[in-house]
């Protein structure tokens, strides 16, 4: 940015809070501009590092010995657990080979998960100190257009329960499952509850066309007649799915189960996505952060159960360039989310 002859800054926030040009000028002037970019460049805002966890001789660790895959020259690493560990180096130095091609598959195999054969190495020690390994990459979450942020973190289950308590639902014997877009007979049979017709294109990316039978609304008309009152608005199941996560957080402020489920999406900085946005349309970075939100939601449930620390051994989360394409402000949010995982005893590593 500082090397640019001219900078155009978009914002002021993401999603519906964005879409405007908030600065247009030289890098020197941007430092003083009243925008998020200006605040970080002018050092008026910083990415919080949080508390540094010391690595000492008795910190539990995992050891990978003798990695020789691709360009690796017989590399042995000690990975401290319950810590944030960063693998860095110039492009092509072997970071992804070490983490994605050797360490992750070796650990997956240890935990009996389906994986590619691990890249060449001598041995892996200390995996028994972990309960699981999860590789949080930027690959798409899934191809089903029915899956969306609300269902991914389990918020839709809580919302369906609210619809089922509506007097008309009771009168018509609609249970929570009537309001599912994943299964059951409340959803539109033509599109199976996605609201889209999915057209696979041979060489181009897939096309999603609005379902002509439900007009993209996912449910039978009589299901959409049930409207719950929140924040002075009457909302059908479709209307709720059209809300952004931050709108939903305001309207459902008093619904604890809904808030608990969507809070992780806010924590990873995705509050601007719609609850019902099909996951195949999320960007790589957004997919990675939604996956992280899914784990945070799980960690929050575990923490609530065992009060503070994990009852079980922690999970090792491996990330693939988690800050790629993110603004300082997004990295700041991501760091807060990662710290939540560390606080309950998980381990983090990434390149
Ligand atoms: N499948 C492969 N077959 C042969 N060589 C490979 C293969 N994959 C990677 N390499 C080579 O191994 C070296 C290390 O690659 P790697 O992807 O681990 O780098 P990196 O440090 O992750 O780089 P970047 O920052 O660009 O992601 C590179 O020279 C690369 O060309
Ligand atoms: Mg790489
Ligand atoms: Zn339909």
Residues 115 and 196 occupy one common structural domain: no
**Would you call 249 exposed, middle or buried from its count of C-beta atoms within 10 A (0-12, 13-18, 19+)?**
middle
Average pLDDT value for the chain: 91
Distance 244 CA to ligand 2 centre (A): 33
Is 342 a member of any domain? yes
Return the C-alpha torsion angle 19, 25, 28, 33, nearest 10. -40
Sequence-ordered alpha helix ranges (H) in the chain: 27-30, 36-41, 95-96, 104-110, 149-152, 155-164, 167-171, 221-224, 237-242, 245-251, 256-267, 284-306, 328-343
Q: Which of 217, 250, 278 is the last residue of a domain?
A: 278
Mean pLDDT, range 198-227, rounded to an integer? 88
Distance (Å, whole) CA 151 – CA 144:
12
Query: Are 153 and 265 in a shared domain?
Result: yes
Ligand 1 atom, smallest distance to 89 CA: 21
Residue 221 has pLDDT above 90, yes or no: yes
Instruction: Kindly report, residue by residue over 260-313, the tens digit of the pLDDT.
Output: 999 999 989 899 999 999 898 888 888 889 999 998 888 777 666 665 555 568
The predicted structure's pLDDT at residue 283:
84
- Does a structural domain hold residue 85? yes
Q: How many domains does the chain have?
A: 3
> Nearest C-alpha to atom 10 of ligand 1 is from which residue?
70
Contacting residues for 191 by C-beta, under 8 A, at least 6 apart: 197, 211, 213, 214, 218
Nearest CA owner, ligand 1 atom 24: 91
Residues 133 and 167 in one domain: no
Helices (H) and strands (E) in the chain, counts: 13, 13
Q: pTM of this prediction?
A: 0.84
CA 181 to ligand 3 center in whole angstroms: 10
Per-residue pLDDT of 81-118, as tens digits, reads 999 999 999 999 999 999 999 999 999 999 999 999 99
Residues 136, 160: one domain? no
One domain, residues 19 and 126: no
Q: How far is CA 87 from CA 61, 243, 340, in A?
A: 15, 38, 21
DSSP code per residue over 243-296: SBHHHHHHHTTT-HHHHHHHHHHHHTT-TTSBTT--GGGS-HHHHHHHHHHHHH
Question: Do 274 and 287 reside in the same domain of the chain?
Answer: no
C-alpha torsion sign, points 282, 285, 289, 291: positive
Same domain, 337 and 224: no
**Residue to probe by mutation, ligand 1, list 86, 91, 92, most atoms within 8 Å of CB:** 92
Say yes or no: 191 and 225 in one domain.
yes
In 3D, which of 269, 338, 336, 263 has the Cα closest to residue 304?
263
Nearest CA to ligand 1 atom 16: 94
With respect to residue 49, please indicate whether it lies within any of the assigned structural domains.
Answer: no
Domain membership of residue 55 (yes or no) is: no
Residue bearing the CA closest to ligand 1, atom 8: 70
Q: Are residues 155 and 257 in the same domain?
A: yes
Domain annotation covers residue 47: no
Residue pLDDT, tens place only, 326-340: 899 989 988 988 898
Please give the pLDDT value at position 307.
Answer: 56
Q: Does residue 115 lie within any of the structural domains?
A: yes
Residues 265 and 293 occupy one common structural domain: no
Say if residue 181 is in the same domain as residue 271.
yes
Shared-domain flag, residues 172 and 117: no
Note down the domain range covering 100.
61-140+282-350
The answer to whether residue 48 is domain-embedded is no
Distance from the alpha carbon of residue 100 to the mean position of ligand 1, in angstroms: 11
Q: Whose CA is nearest to atom 7 of ligand 1?
A: 70
The CATH number linked to 111 is: 3.40.50.300
What whole-number distance in Å separates Cα of residue 285 and Cα of residue 292?
11
Name all residues whose Cβ lies below 6 A of ligand 1.
70-71, 89, 91-97, 351
Centre of ligand 1 from the C-alpha of residue 73, in Å = 13
Rounded to the nearest angstrom, the distance between the alpha carbon of 97 and the centre of ligand 1 is: 6
CA 69 to ligand 1 center in whole angstroms: 10
Q: Which tokens belong to 114?
A: 């389906």
Residue of the CA atom closest to atom 30 of ligand 1:
92
Q: Which ligand is nearest to the CA of 320?
A: 2
pLDDT tens figures, 136-186: 888 888 777 788 999 999 999 999 999 999 999 999 999 999 999 999 999
pLDDT at position 243 over 70: yes
Task: Provide the CATH number for the domain around residue 194.
Answer: 1.20.1580.10
Res 304: pLDDT: 67
Q: How far is the CA of 92 from the centre of ligand 2 (A)?
A: 7
CA–CA separation, 60 and 231 (whole Å) = 49
Residue whose CA lies nearest to ligand 1 atom number 19: 92
Considering only CA atoms, which residue is closest to atom 6 of ligand 1? 70
Does 52 map to a domain?
A: no
Q: What tens digit of pLDDT does each residue of 10-57 get?
A: 999 887 788 999 999 999 999 999 999 999 999 999 998 888 899 999
Q: Which of 278, 299, 315 is the last residue of a domain?
A: 278
In the chain, what percentage of residues exceed pLDDT 70?
Answer: 97
Q: By three-state DSSP, how is residue 230 classified?
A: strand
Q: Which atom of ligand 1 is nearest to the CA of 100?
A: 18
Q: What token pair was written down for 97? A: 């080979």
Ligand closest to 186 (CA) is: 3
């Amino acid at each position: 940015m500082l090397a640019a002859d001219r900078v155009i800054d978009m914002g002021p926030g993401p999603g519906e809070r964005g879409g405007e040009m908030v600065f247009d000028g030289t890098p020197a002037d941007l430092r003083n501009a009243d925008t998020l970019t200006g605040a970080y460049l002018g050092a008026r805002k910083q990415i919080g590092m949080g508390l540094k966890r010391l690595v000492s001789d008795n910190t539990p660790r995992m050891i990978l010995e003798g990695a020789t895959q691709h360009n690796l020259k017989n590399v042995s690493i000690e990975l401290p657990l319950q810590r944030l560990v960063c693998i860095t180096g110039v492009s092509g130095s072997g970071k992804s080979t070490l983490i994605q091609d050797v360490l992750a598959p070796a650990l997956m195999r240890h935990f009996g998960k389906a994986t590619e054969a691990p890249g060449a190495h001598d041995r892996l020690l200390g995996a028994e100190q972990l309960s699981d390994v999860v590789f949080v990459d930027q690959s798409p979450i899934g191809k089903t257009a029915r899956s969306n942020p609300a269902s991914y973190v389990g918020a839709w289950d809580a919302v369906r329960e609210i619809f089922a308590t509506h007097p008309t639902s009771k009168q018509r014997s609609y249970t929570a499952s009537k309001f599912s877009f994943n299964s059951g007979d409340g959803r539109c049979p033509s599109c199976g509850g996605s609201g889209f017709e999915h057209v696979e294109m041979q060489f181009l990316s897939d096309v999603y066309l609005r379902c002509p039978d439900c007009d993209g609304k996912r449910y039978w008309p009589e299901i959409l007649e049930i409207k719950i009152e929140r924040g002075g608005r009457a909302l059908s199941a479709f209307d709720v799915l059209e809300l952004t996560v931050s709108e939903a957080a305001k309207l459902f402020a008093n619904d604890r189960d809904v808030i608990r489920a969507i809070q992780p999406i806010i924590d990873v900085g995705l509050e601007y996505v719609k609850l019902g946005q099909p996951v195949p349309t999320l960007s790589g970075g957004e997919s990675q952060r939604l996956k992280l939100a899914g784990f945070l939601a799980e960690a929050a449930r575990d923490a609530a159960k065992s009060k503070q620390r994990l009852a079980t051994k922690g999970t090792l989360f491996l990330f693939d360039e988690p800050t790629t394409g993110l603004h300082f402000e997004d990295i700041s949010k991501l760091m807060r989310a990662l710290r939540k995982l560390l606080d309950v005893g998980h381990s983090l590593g990434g390149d």
